[in-house]
Amino acid sequence: MAAGARPDPRFYQTAILFGLLVYGRLALEFDITAGRTAVLVVSALAAQWVGTRLSRLPRFDPLSALISAFSLTLLLRTSDWWLAAAAAVIAIASKFVVRRQGKHLFNPTNLALVVLLLLTDRVWVSPGQWGSLAWFAFLMACLGGLVVTRAARADVTLGFLATFAALQIGRAAWLGDPIAIPLHRLENGGLLLFAFFMISDPMTIPNRKGARIGYAITVAIVAFLWHFALFKPNGLVWALFFCTPLVPIIDRIWPGEKFEWRPQPPAVARARH
């Protein structure tokens, strides 16, 4: 790694997701088979390779493809292997096809879930209830990732979680429910996957810090209303899908520095100016 360059956060994210997959399968008996995991991983890597060749990119980068594959393994449920493969291909292909101003528009995992939910009734999204101990361990790992990698987009994750938690607790207080009810709802592995690996995708969020926080708050409000005003499932998935097209508009009104997974070290950056 070049001196002065920060580590790529995706290494840590990939390790967290892989560790969760192994622990979930062996200790928590997640409904995750080795075959389905292999289908998702191979399909995602193959789609990434094809996209790299067709786009004439200088190198094959498997990290984002692995993150999408592992996320889909944890969230997507289907009895048909070909739908799992289709989800991986849709996710990775969207990065190369659905783009604007050098960024892919939709989070790949989010878009794949939405497309399949719209097109077939043979897939569903796992709510990810893992129990308090596993949830807390995953939370600590994810927060550790923010510290270790100094992720530049942690404001989105923390802003979303704070808003979503406040809305849940506020609703319970309004209804006179015990605090245990919203806390139990917040102990959801799917919520952590969403907050740390989907809404925080730096390639699909506003570039400016204040705009990112406002965007995170908006997504949290839409997800909350989807759940508790419309009483529909998968509020997190749909909220992100509906709010993502706002990002190009936000970037145009409030421009900011574009994120790069591999920023140039300070010496190179100064030499270019």
Q: What is the pLDDT of residues 67-88, one digit of tens each?
A: 999 999 999 999 999 999 999 9
Contact 167, 220 (CB under 8 A): yes
User: 190-213, pLDDT tens digit by residue?
Assistant: 888 899 889 988 889 998 989 999
What is the C-alpha separation between 256 and 210, in angstroms, rounded?
10
Among 255, 242, 253, 236, CA closest to 196: 236
Higher pLDDT: 243 or 28? It is: 243
Half-sphere exposure of 76 (CA within 13 A, CB side): 35
What is the C-alpha separation between 122 and 213, in angstroms, rounded?
35
Half-sphere exposure of 153 (CA within 13 A, CB side): 28
Q: Which residues pair with 76 in a beta bridge?
A: 125
Region 228-255: what's the mean pLDDT? Answer: 94
Among 203, 216, 238, 117, CA closest to 166: 216
User: 222-240, pLDDT tens digit by residue?
Assistant: 999 999 999 999 999 999 9
User: What per-residue confidence (pLDDT) applies to 270?
Assistant: 39
Residue 108 tokens read as 């790949």
What is the C-alpha separation between 195 and 259, in angstroms, rounded?
18
Contact 53, 163 (CB under 8 A): no
User: What per-residue confidence (pLDDT) applies to 141?
Assistant: 76
Higher pLDDT: 101 or 253? It is: 253
pLDDT band at 2 (very low <50, low <70, confident <90, very high): very low
What is the C-alpha separation between 103 and 86, in angstroms, rounded?
22
- Give the angle 273-204-77 at the CA atoms, nearest 5°: 145
In the chain, where are the structural domains located? Answer: 9-253
What is the C-alpha separation between 240 and 26, in angstroms, rounded?
31
pTM above the 0.95 mark?
A: no
